[in-house]
Amino acid sequence: MEQMLDQKAGEKAAAKPEKTRHGSEETPLEAFASICGVLVLGLFALTFIFQNFAIPSSSMEKTLLVGDHVLVDRITLAPPTHWAPFVHYRNVQRGDIIVFFKPTVEPNGEHLYLVKRVVGRPGDHIHLVNGTVYLNGVAQNEPQVQVATEPYEYRDDFPAVPPPALSDVTAEWALDLPNHIQNGDLVVPPGYYFVMGDNRPNSLDSRYWGFVPRQNIVGRPLFVYWSFVTPENQYERTGLADHAGFIGHIILHFFDQTRWRRTFHLVK
């Protein structure tokens, strides 16, 4: 009997390590659940915290180049919430570069994302003289701004010069503009912002379609995570063949036409 008990005890002792070893291994179901958890967290972050955008035009050169891909912070400039008091929120400031929905809808019914720099906050008085911005009566030093080589009165002496009959100024803004002018200054109304591109001669901005409502602001770009040499009119090529052709171009020239120096370039 003792021999039989000793034999059974030995069998149990030998079986124990094997059971422990098998118990530490992850089952396929557990692995699948882990992957799903990571995907859900990643999707949540890309939907509610961060978002990626590609720069399609030269309106912000040389701060942002055509073909820059930026990561946008959707939280900092969002309206504060009571359920997340630990999150850092702040008001939109002058000089912030913001991503927002264009206030006017495109002819095809599309809402465009734009990126510009905030020049005026609610209550600010703004006018331009020969392309120089005067904010609340003070001429602004803007070293990042690309100046025009050829004068254009409406663009450079805004809002003193009325919009031309045939121009890029929207009809709605041409009618509404005089309502916001006081003593030669454009006054930014409550809840709105006046924005402009850094490449002033090549930027269709608040001078052409008006103020940006606070609720249209999506976030602010943090850094460039990838930059690829891209034609400025590439975003206008919407055909399937154009998309396929450009993807093939990227595959062939990924290494020699990626702007490696702009990787992780901070946007400011």
Enzyme catalytic residues? 59, 116
Distance of CA 264 to the CA centre of its chain: 15
Instruction: Specify the DSSP class assigned to residue 201.
Output: G
* Sequence-separated (6 or more) residues with CB below 8 Å from residue 166: none
Handedness of CA 205, 211, 215, 220 (dihedral sign): positive
Q: Render 148-182 in DSSP notation, one character per residue.
A: PSS--HHHHSTTTSPPPSSSSS-HHHHHHGGGGEE
Of 116, 95, 112, residue with least CA distance to 104: 112
Q: Which structure tokens are listed for 3?
A: 């021999």
Judge contact between 145 and 119, C-beta under 8 A: no
Q: Which structure tokens are listed for 157?
A: 């002496």
Cα–Cα dist 104/195, whole Å: 14
Q: Name residue 17's amino acid.
A: P
Of 203, 208, 204, 166, residue with least CA distance to 186: 208
